[in-house]
């Protein structure tokens, strides 16, 4: 019905409590909530206070009670191990309830933290749901993170238990996790009481007596346990996201509002109905994996595909089309990087031939801005709507998009769609004034944030204020810039801070700089992100060497690249180091990263009056031009 989206969106903004009360009827509550929106302690707004709930019950037990016991809940598809394994809702519940018994037998109870450091295997989802079942707070750490990054998260979350696997499989490479885990625990100040290791046949890990246990051995004697009654506002999980400093921020997600928002989004944003097959091609270590591999599709009673593989090379650029065809996928959620990689390897789409995509209805993209070329290529090849949408680890679900379950509005190339119900977006200038339509500025969200968004940061209420709320009182600062056109479509043009997004993964430039600066030959450094055709962005390091180190330049560069790979992970894609005699700074000592970024990207820039050495910019420009990276000049 024409205008249906506008009516629903208006209701969510003008009558939010009524809107979300209606949405909450789709969730099973042990005890009804006393207030829909608790605004008694702004800016710490809470939803559905007084209610009691269990997210695992809503994701599994409820569907079995409703007659879906034999429906497939999870499809594990792993071309790297040549495995396809399916779990019905009854089978998945059995595994989750038994592993919840393993957790309780190992001393884990409500409120305890459990770090999960695992690859894309069903046991990862089972561990998450088992924590949710008993009220333990899980914190999943992406398996690609190096030991020191894992150690930082261990120190912050202070887990009683860590769950890991013996290895991950990246294409043809076997990545052993246990040495990384052991090193992380060695580095961490906080030490977990116990570790549980899932042994994969590709590599077996050595276990430490008294601390480590074998997953399968524990499961053989495990007794299933039921669901704990949890307050709506009790934390479900902590998920760390890079900040502008080297210390990651632990986003806290609660149980009740998250369940309400995700189930609403599956039907209304993505158009998914119970029993249909959904695929989010992400990793459980990222927010997409939490919201749309595990919790969202299961809350909605869908079948969720968990894919352990790559878009190309496992075995070819037709890998994604094979999964969609074989499992009868209705909608795919992927990063634009994924589509760009496929397009690069198979520009004419020849690998699509022979696959049946007749049940495939929508391609949703998020993680970084989808360039128009990729948008049109995918749309024309697949002959389905391509919908770019935008959200963040902090929000947990989409800020903007197209609600295909409400009204099939047209998507616009270059735009991330319209504001989703519950999100009142405004474009602000640097002083906090609301800008008119078509004017680019800072994207902010009027408080309160809708259900499902972060409640605060783990043990960091003050940091939550400082990071998101203090700059513009009454607003949540997204950290992105952009504008709204006259049709209400939002265009997200990029970060306003120094976070770099590589293939949709947010990396702190501060974290990379800290590693580079630790090299004994490095005097100063600055890391910026530059556009990349495949990755969206990649980091580039500007480095000033100490006196006497110039003759070791080549070796230093190789060592810096290796250090970042070892301490953050290969996915950071840090490969370019530019040696310069000094960094451009203001007279107060602030490094002009924004100008460096523009030089590398070939964009015009204004030379600030406070710059310490204006001639330095021309020298850097000339050097960048010789490398074939930039080609511009200052506008003033």
34-81 confidence digits (pLDDT tens): 999 999 999 999 999 999 999 999 999 999 999 999 999 999 999 999
CATH number among 3.30.390.30, 3.40.50.12780, 3.30.300.30, 3.40.50.300, domain 4-309+389-478: 3.40.50.12780
Residue 329 confidence (pLDDT) above 60: yes
> Which residue in 362, 408, 361, 386 sits closest to 1, CA to CA?
408
The whole-angstrom separation of Cα 278 and Cα 333 is 8
For 386-442, write each residue's pLDDT tens digit: 999 999 999 999 999 999 999 999 999 989 999 999 999 999 999 999 999 999 899
Q: What is the pLDDT of residue 602?
A: 83
Contacts of the segment 518-524: beta carbons below 8 A, 24+ positions apart: 518/563, 519/556, 519/559, 519/560, 519/563, 520/546, 521/545, 521/546, 521/549, 521/552, 521/556, 522/546, 522/556, 522/560, 524/582, 524/583, 524/591
Q: Decide if 589 contacts 560 (C-beta within 8 A).
A: no
End-to-end CA distance of the chain: 52
Domain regions of the chain by residue span: 4-309+389-478, 499-579, 590-636
As a whole number of angstroms, the longest Cα–Cα distance in the chain is 74
What pLDDT score was predicted for residue 369? 79
Q: How far apart (Å, rounded) are the C-alpha atoms in residues 515 and 138?
A: 28
Tokens 């198979």, residue located: 346
Tell me, yes or no, if the two domains 4-309+389-478 and 499-579 fold the same way. no
pLDDT at residue 54 in the model: 98
Whose tokens are 């580095």? That residue is: 187
CB 304 within 8 A of CB 74: yes
Select from 284, 279, 475, 286 the least CA-distant residue to 368.
286
- Candidates 601, 553, 608, 562; CA nearest to 581 is 553
Is the pLDDT at 7 greater than 80, yes or no? Answer: yes
DSSP 536: E
Strand partners, 250: 240
499-579, superfamily in CATH?
Answer: ANL, C-terminal domain (3.30.300.30)
Q: Report the mean per-residue pLDDT for the chain.
A: 92
Cβ-based neighbour number of residue 217 at 10 Å: 13
Query: Quick one: tokens of 556?
Result: 């230093």
Rounded to whole angstroms, the Cα distance separating 444 from 454 reads 15
Residue in 488, 477, 360, 503 with CA at minimum distance from that of residue 416? 488
What's the pTM? 0.86
From start to end of 13-56, where are the E strands?
35-38, 46-49, 52-53
- How would residue 321 be classed by pLDDT, with cut points 50, 70 and 90? very high
Asked which of 10-24, 387-401, 409-423, 616-630 is least confident by mean pLDDT, the reply is 616-630
User: Residue 499 pairs with which residues in a beta bridge?
Assistant: 508
Is residue 558 within 8 Å of residue 489, measured between CB atoms? no
Contact 127, 116 (CB under 8 A): yes
Angle at the Cα of 280 (from 276 to 284), degrees rounded to 5?
125
Contacts of 10 (CB under 8 A, 6+ apart): none
**Cα 636 to Cα 633: distance, rounded to the nearest angstrom:** 9
Q: What is the dihedral of CA 359, 364, 370, 371, to 10 degrees?
A: 20
- Give whole-number Cα distances, 513 to 160, 187, 519, in Å: 31, 20, 10
Is residue 359 within 8 Å of residue 273, measured between CB atoms?
no
Going by C-alpha positions, the residue among 562, 554, 495, 559 that lies closest to residue 529 is: 495
Rounded CA-CA distance 454/473 in Å is 17
For residues 150-168, average pLDDT = 97
């Amino acid at each position: 019905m024409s205008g249906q989206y506008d009516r629903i969106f208006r209701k969510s903004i003008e009558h939010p409590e009524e809107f979300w009360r209606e949405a909450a009827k789709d969730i099973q509550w042990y005890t009804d909530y006393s207030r829909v929106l608790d605004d008694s302690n702004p800016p710490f707004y809470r939803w559905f206070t007084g209610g009691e709930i269990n997210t695992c019950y809503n994701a599994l037990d409820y569907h079995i009670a409703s007659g879906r016991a034999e429906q497939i809940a999870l499809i594990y598809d792993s071309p790297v191990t040549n495995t396809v394994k399916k779990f019905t809702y009854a089978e998945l519940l059995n595994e989750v309830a038994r592993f919840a018994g393993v957790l309780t037998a190992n001393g884990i109870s409500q409120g305890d933290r459990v770090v999960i450091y695992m690859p894309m295997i069903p046991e990862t989802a089972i561990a998450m749901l088992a924590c949710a079942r008993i009220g333990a707070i899980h914190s999943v750490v992406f398996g690609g993170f190096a030991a020191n990054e894992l150690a930082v998260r261990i120190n912050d979350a202070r887990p009683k238990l860590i769950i890991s696997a013996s290895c991950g499989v990246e294409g043809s490479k076997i990545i052993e996790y246990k040495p990384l885990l052991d090193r992380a625990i060695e580095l961490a100040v906080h030490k977990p009481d116990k570790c549980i290791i899932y042994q994969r046949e590709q590599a077996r890990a050595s276990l430490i007596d008294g601390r480590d246990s074998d997953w399968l051995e524990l499961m053989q004697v495990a007794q299933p346990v039921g669901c704990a009654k949890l307050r709506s506002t009790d934390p479900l999980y902590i998920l760390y996201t890079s900040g502008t400093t080297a210390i990651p921020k632990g986003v806290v997600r609660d149980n009740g509002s998250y369940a309400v928002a995700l189930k609403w989004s599956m039907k209304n944003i993505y158009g998914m109905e119970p029993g249909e097959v959904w695929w989010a091609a992400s990793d459980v270590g990222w927010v997409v994996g939490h919201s749309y591999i595990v919790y969202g599709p299961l809350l909605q009673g869908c079948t969720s595909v968990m894919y352990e593989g790559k878009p190309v090379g496992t075995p070819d650029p037709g890998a994604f089309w094979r999964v969609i065809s074989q499992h009868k996928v209705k909608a795919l959620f992927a990063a634009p990087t994924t589509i760009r990689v496929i397009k690069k390897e198979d520009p004419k789409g020849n690998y699509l031939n022979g696959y049946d995509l007749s049940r495939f209805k929508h391609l949703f993209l998020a993680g970084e801005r989808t360039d128009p070329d990729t948008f049109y290529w995918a749309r024309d090849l697949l002959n389905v709507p391509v919908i770019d949408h935008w959200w963040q680890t902090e929000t947990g679900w989409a800020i903007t998009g197209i609600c295909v379950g409400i009204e099939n509005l047209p998507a616009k190339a270059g735009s991330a769609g319209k504001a989703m119900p519950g999100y009142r977006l405004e474009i602000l200038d640097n002083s906090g004034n609301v800008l008119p339509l078509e004017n680019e500025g800072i994207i902010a969200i009027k408080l309160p944030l809708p259900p499902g968004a972060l409640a605060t940061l783990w043990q960091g209420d003050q940091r939550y204020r400082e990071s998101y709320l203090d700059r513009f009182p009454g607003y949540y600062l997204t950290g992105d810039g952009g504008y709204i056109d006259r049709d209400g479509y939002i265009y997200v043009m990029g970060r306003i801070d120094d976070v770099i997004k590589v293939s949709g993964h947010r990396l702190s430039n501060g974290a990379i700089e800290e590693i580079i600066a630790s090299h004994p030959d490095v005097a100063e450094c600055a890391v910026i992100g530059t556009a990349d055709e495949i990755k969206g962005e990649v980091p580039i390091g500007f480095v000033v060497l100490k006196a006497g180190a110039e003759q070791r330049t080549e070796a230093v560069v190789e060592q810096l690249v290796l250090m970042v790979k070892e301490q953050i992970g290969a996915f950071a894609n840090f490969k370019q180091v530019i040696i310069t005699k000094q960094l451009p700074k203001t007279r107060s000592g602030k490094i002009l990263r924004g100008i460096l970024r523009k030089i590398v990207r070939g964009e015009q820039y204004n030379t600030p009056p406070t710059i310490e050495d204006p001639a330095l910019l021309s020298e850097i420009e000339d050097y960048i031009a010789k490398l074939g990276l930039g080609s511009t000049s200052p506008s003033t």
